[in-house]
Amino acid sequence: MNTYINPQDKTYLSFTKARAAHWDAVATKPPRKINWSAYYHRRLKHVYQHVIPPGCSVLDLGCGKGDLLASVQPACGVGIDFSAEMVRAAQKAYPEFRFIQADAHALPGLDMQFDYIILSDLVNDLWDVQNVLNQLQPLCSPRTRVVLNFYNRGWEAALKLAQALGTAKPLQDQNWLTQTDMKNLLNLGDFEVVRKWTEVLFPFYIPLISPFLNRIAARLWPLKHICMTNMMIARPRVSADAQAASVSVVIAARNEAGNIPQIFERVPEMGSGTEIVFVEGHSQDDTWQVIEKTIQESARKAILLKQPGKGKGDAIRAGFQAASGDILMILDADLTVPPEDLPRFYDALVQNRGEFINGVRLVYPMEEEAMRFLNNLGNKFFSVTFSWLLGQSIKDTLCGTKVLWRADYEKIAQNRAFFGDFDPFGDFDLIFGATKQNLKLVDMPIRYRERTYGTTNIQRWRHGLLLLRMLWVAAVRLKFV
């Protein structure tokens, strides 16, 4: 790992010494009677608490007095700051966490990897941002998320004026980075941006007005471009995993007797082994009997469950609970998504192209009767709206084929109470949960086929109203927070 820095460089040493002295002075200065920046930091704490679940292992680089680290309630918390006075104050305030005095450009060996690494208002104050990002790689697992915020360049003049008037903390000369600059630096440091947004349109507290401006107005064009701070979540870019993983293909089957033999024939073997998990949903035809008979006659590894409740979402959750594979896949029993496409999803997941692979029916031309015109139009509307709400591209929310690691699904299931039992489809339960866990969503284009047996279970208008409800859930729980 190259640090790219000469530790004897006089200019660098002078830079470091001046900043350490500056932050030591800030740490020991008596608190102001009126702290104009208090609301800004309170808002940042709220944002980080929304992004980072309690009980994780968290490293806060440039931790200051430790308030932000403590606010996310880590099970294991480590703070690093090169100001001795900041570290002393942090350790006194939060003895349950570990605080270390060190330069971010030359981090000490910590002999562990973290779930989350925080860089809050730090990159603006660094000598070499790329060097610091290089330092983080040994501290990251493939599932680590780096969460950072940095000042919007458009606020440079306003901040300097506020510092001159004494209404903001004095700062040394800053790196005024754009989102494009930071994305490029993360790429050079071998990180990939998962999502980005802006925060703090109005940095002072006025009841009702400040929450409205910072939770709602700050999300809207053009106001989002003049917010005070840029937020980013990034993940380490890792090479393909050569080790084969086991796969469970979960199929909710209701009135699909005519498709069952094809499923056994066409679902390919993937990874170290593939099992097919059928969840039969109170069919009016002989779907249960056909599955049972085909399992007995087939050499394929398969499980048959009776659905405990109603709705596809209930069936998929039951199937995931019974599945044994490292990778969980959903395949619709109507075979409108060809089972032969499933290896595409497997490869994208094990090669770490993403952590939630979502099928997309809206890229390639469809067969004539595959999707009715109004359904197609509605899907395109919802794809644009949900992509905006989630902060990641999600072109087709209702495509039945979705693939993710079992370990990630278990985290989604553990945190399901955050959204509640709101989704009869099951698609949004997974998509919203994956977004809340900061997983990388990747669209997988497939060719959507006509149904050859049975009739669709989708009811256009009733389910369209449910989709509008999903938009509201995403807006309230994920976007305007």
Q: Where are the domains of the chain?
A: 10-236, 246-479
Distance CA 62, CA 68 (A): 10
CA–CA distance from 311 to each of 251, 335, 422, 458 (Å)? 13, 18, 12, 11
Whether residue 80 contacts residue 69, with contact meaning beta carbons closer than 8 Å, is answered with: no
The two tokens of residue 323 are 């599945």
Nearest partner of 394 among 359, 437, 355, judged by Cα? 359
Distance CA 187, CA 334 (A): 41
CATH 1.10.3720.10 for the 10-236 domain, yes or no: no
Amino acid occupying residue 400: G
Pairing mode, if any, of strands 140-151 and 114-120?
parallel
| CATH topology (fold) of 246-479 | Spore Coat Polysaccharide Biosynthesis Protein SpsA; Chain A (3.90.550)
pLDDT number for residue 62: 96
Kindly report the length of the chain.
481
Exposure string for 235-259, b = 16+ CB within 10 A, e = fewer: bbeeeeeeeebbbbbbbbbbbbbbb
pLDDT number for residue 333: 93
The two tokens of residue 315 are 């069936």
The two tokens of residue 393 are 């591209």
Q: What number of other Cβ atoms are within 10 A of residue 461's Cβ?
A: 8
pLDDT tens over the chain, length 481 residues:
556 777 778 888 888 888 889 899 988 988 776 666 889 999 999 999 999 999 999 999 999 999 999 999 999 999 999 999 999 999 999 999 999 999 999 999 898 999 999 999 999 999 999 999 999 999 999 999 999 999 998 887 777 777 677 666 666 677 889 999 999 999 999 999 999 999 999 999 999 999 999 999 999 999 999 999 999 999 999 865 556 899 999 999 999 999 999 999 999 999 999 999 999 999 999 999 999 999 999 999 999 999 999 889 999 999 999 999 999 999 999 999 999 999 999 999 999 999 999 999 877 776 555 555 666 676 778 888 999 999 998 988 888 899 999 999 999 999 998 888 777 788 899 999 999 999 999 999 998 877 565 555 555 556 677 778 888 999 999 999 9
Q: What number of other Cβ atoms are within 10 A of residue 109's Cβ?
A: 7
Geometric angle at alpha carbon 425, from 422 and 426, rounded to 5°: 75
pLDDT number for residue 403: 98
pLDDT number for residue 374: 60
Distance CA 189, CA 200 (A): 27
pLDDT number for residue 451: 59
**What are the strands, taking DSSP E only, across 400-474?**
402-405, 441-445
Query: Same fold for the domain at 10-236 and the one at 246-479?
Result: no
Nearest partner of 28 among 64, 80, 68, judged by Cα? 64
Amino acid occupying residue 254: R
One-character DSSP codes across 370-415: SS-HHHHHHHHHHHHHHHHHHTS--S-TT-S-EEEEHHHHHHHHHT
